[in-house]
Homo-oligomer: A and B are copies of this chain.
């Protein structure tokens, strides 16, 4: 009888331990690497950091470093990142009439700064990130520094830890190019709408030199065309001339990434003339980038606008989840 009791205690203890392990994974690991965002095959979590603004995980996967924020990949030392960065940077930067002063908002990893540094006429780059840990990683984390080619330590580059909006509100300096590379607002992160609103875009316009442009990352166009068109409509409402474009990785990832150039003068694809070395923006690709497929806007009629007070973009993002 005593034996049976001990066996029961053993079974119960095992179950409790198993349950605790499961809870640990559910709440601890999953908060850093979401289940639907796990890399395929083997991977290793190198570090987990609760920064002042987010939960960051550094993950090693197939000799690449992936940087997760709140469970989702923010960027990595990957080919995807090169494609994304080239598309985000070279279209607006090549369209700008001048490019001496460039502001990068949400760029702690230093990868977009690496691309901007390819232009010899760029005199100073200011990199802003709200998360000091991201800037720190961009400057010192070995695989990342190798990938961004030490961009954040370059003499032309200055880094600032601050929210992009309050930086622009406080600093009346003007810029030739401003790049916005910030996460999409969702119902869980409504505050991010303040970096996508009519009020913010109007401020952006005031902070651009004549002939200046802004480049805006527009999420996955193929999942949420209505999100993309809202950004465009909002930019137009703020007085910008807008050139939408995309980078198709449907074969690789079943995704098509959206971007906008917002200019203070009318612009067209003919104004895009990329003179610096790059890997992905060949002539045929560029031609494709400025053709937005009929199906993306066929069903889209309303011109909704994101303001500081509504939830349009967050709503579209959550609808897609």
- A interface residue numbers (CB < 8 A to B): 248-251, 284-285, 287-289, 291, 293-295, 298-299
Q: In the complex, how many angstroms separate the beta carbon of A119 from the nearest chain B beta carbon?
A: 25
Q: State the majority secondary structure of interface residues on A.
A: helix
Chain B residue, CB-CB nearest to A247: B294
Q: Which of B248, B250, B294 is the one whose CB lies under 8 Å from A288?
A: B294
Please indicate the chain B residues that have their CB under 8 angstroms from the CB of A287 in the complex: 294
The answer to whether A251 and B288 touch across the interface, beta carbons within 8 angstroms, is no
How many copies of this chain sit in the oligomeric assembly?
A: 2
Complex-state Cα separation, A177 to B25, whole angstroms: 66
Complex-state Cα separation, A251 to B299, whole angstroms: 9
The answer to whether B285 and A294 touch across the interface, beta carbons within 8 angstroms, is yes
Chain B residue, CB-CB nearest to A284: B294
Q: In the complex, how many angstroms separate the beta carbon of A257 from the nearest chain B beta carbon?
A: 12
Chain B residue, CB-CB nearest to A225: B251
Sample of 20 A–B contacts (CB below 8 Å): A248-B293, A248-B294, A248-B295, A249-B295, A250-B293, A250-B295, A251-B295, A251-B298, A251-B299, A284-B294, A285-B294, A287-B294, A288-B291, A288-B293, A288-B294, A288-B295, A289-B294, A291-B291, A291-B293, A293-B293
Q: In the complex, how many angstroms separate the beta carbon of A221 from the nearest chain B beta carbon?
A: 12
Please indicate the chain B residues that have their CB under 8 angstroms from the CB of A284 in the complex: 294
Please indicate the chain B residues that have their CB under 8 angstroms from the CB of A298 in the complex: 251
Complex-state Cα separation, A104 to B293, whole angstroms: 30
Please indicate the chain B residues that have their CB under 8 angstroms from the CB of A299 in the complex: 251
Complex-state Cα separation, A293 to B284, whole angstroms: 10
Q: In the complex, how many angstroms separate the beta carbon of A212 from the nearest chain B beta carbon?
A: 29
Q: In the complex, how many angstroms separate the beta carbon of A81 from the nearest chain B beta carbon?
A: 19
Known: A250-B293, A251-B295. 16 other contacts (CB 8 A): A248-B294, A248-B295, A249-B295, A250-B295, A251-B298, A251-B299, A284-B294, A285-B294, A287-B294, A288-B291, A288-B293, A288-B294, A288-B295, A289-B294, A291-B291, A291-B293
Complex-state Cα separation, A284 to B293, whole angstroms: 10
Chain B residue, CB-CB nearest to A291: B291
Complex-state Cα separation, A250 to B289, whole angstroms: 18
Nearest first, the 10 closest Cβ-Cβ pairs linking A and B are A288-B294, A291-B291, A248-B295, A251-B295, A250-B295, A285-B294, A248-B294, A248-B293, A288-B293, A284-B294
Q: In the complex, how many angstroms separate the beta carbon of A235 from the nearest chain B beta carbon?
A: 21
Please indicate the chain B residues that have their CB under 8 angstroms from the CB of A248 in the complex: 293-295
Q: In the complex, how many angstroms separate the beta carbon of A289 from the nearest chain B beta carbon?
A: 8
